[in-house]
Homo-oligomer: A and B are copies of this chain.
Amino acid sequence: MRPGEGLDALMSPRSIAIIGASQEATKIGGRPVDLLCRHGYAGRIYPVNPKAAMVQGLQAYASVADLPEAPDLAIIAVDAERACEAVEQCAARGVRSVVVFSSGFAELGEQGRAMQERLRVAARGSGMRLLGPNCLGAVSVAEKSIATFSIVLEHGMPAAGSLGIVSQSGNLGSYTMRLASERGVGVSRFITTGNECDIDIADGIAWMARDPATKVILCCLEACRDAGRLISSLEEARDAGKPVIAMKIGTSAAGQAAAASHTGAMAGSDAVFDALFARCGAVRVRSIDELIDLGHAASILLPDRLPKGPGIAILTASGGFGVLLADAAQSAGLTLPELGEDTQRQILELVPFASARNPVDATAQMSSRPDLLEKIMTAVVADERTDTVILPLPFSLHLPRLRSIYMNTLRNMRAQFPRRPIVLCVDGPDDALAELHALGFPTIESFDGCCATVAALVRLQAAAQRPQDKPAPVVRAAPPAADAFRHELGAKRALAEAGVPVLTERLVRDADAAARAATEIGYPVVLKIASPDLPHKTEAGGVVVGLGSEADVRRAYAQMCDRVATRAPDAAIDGVIVAPMAKGVAELILGSRIDPVFGPVVMVGLGGIFAEILQDSAVQMAPVSEAQAMAMLKSLKAFAVLDGARGRPRADLDAAAKAVAALSRFAAAHADTIAEIDVNPLLLRARGEGAVALDALLIPHGERPVGGH
Contacts and interface: CB of A to CB of B under 8 A. Distances in A.
Interface of A: 26, 103-104, 107-108, 151-152, 154-155, 167-172, 175, 178, 220, 222, 249-255, 257-259, 261-263, 286-289, 317-324, 326-331, 335-336, 353, 355, 357, 359, 361, 363-364, 394-396, 398-399, 401-402, 446-448, 609-610, 612-614, 637-638, 640-641, 645-646
A175 B394 contact: yes
A255 to B, nearest CB: 4
Pairs A-B, 4 closest by C-beta atoms: A169-B320, A262-B319, A252-B330, A171-B318
A249 B323 contact: yes
A111 to B, nearest CB: 12
Given A363-B103, A641-B609, A258 B108 contact: no
Contacts of A646: 612-613
Given A399-B151, A447-B288, A329 B614 contact: no
Contacts of A448: 287, 289
Contacts of A155: 395, 398-399
A383 B498 CA distance: 57
Contact of A613 (B328, B361, B402, B638): B638
Nearest to A314: B258
A361 B320 contact: no
B323 A255 contact: yes
A353 B640 CA distance: 51
Contact of A175 (B322, B395, B613): B395
Contacts of A318: 169-172
16 contacts: A103-B364, A152-B395, A155-B395, A171-B317, A222-B320, A222-B323, A249-B320, A249-B323, A249-B324, A249-B327, A251-B331, A254-B329, A255-B326, A258-B319, A258-B326, A612-B645
A638 B612 contact: no
B327 A263 contact: no
Nearest to A610: B609
B446 A26 contact: no
Contact of A254 (B151, B261, B262, B330): B330
Given A172-B324, A330-B253, A645-B613, A447 B287 contact: yes
Contacts of A288: 324, 446-447
A497 B336 CA distance: 48
Contacts of A168: 320
A173 B401 CA distance: 21
A701 B245 CA distance: 55
Nearest to A26: B401
A118 to B, nearest CB: 19
A446 B327 contact: no
Contacts of A261: 355, 357, 361
A637 to B, nearest CB: 7
A321 B172 contact: yes
Most buried by B among A255, A318, A614, A645: A255
Contacts of A170: 318, 320
A269 to B, nearest CB: 15
A251 B448 CA distance: 13
Nearest to A270: B327
Contacts of A222: 320, 323
A604 to B, nearest CB: 17
Nearest to A316: B171
A324 B263 CA distance: 13
Given A359-B258, A395-B178, A646-B612, A151 B323 contact: no
A263 B318 CA distance: 11
B258 A361 contact: yes
Contacts of A319: 169, 171, 258-259, 262-263
A447 B249 CA distance: 12
Contacts of A398: 155
A574 to B, nearest CB: 27
Given A170-B318, A175-B321, A249-B323, 7 more contacts: A172-B320, A222-B320, A252-B331, A254-B330, A262-B322, A288-B324, A609-B638
Contacts of A255: 323-324, 326-327, 330
A367 to B, nearest CB: 9
Given A154-B399, A327-B249, A399-B154, A220 B175 contact: no
A171 B320 contact: yes
B26 A258 contact: no
Contact of A258 (B286, B322, B364): B322
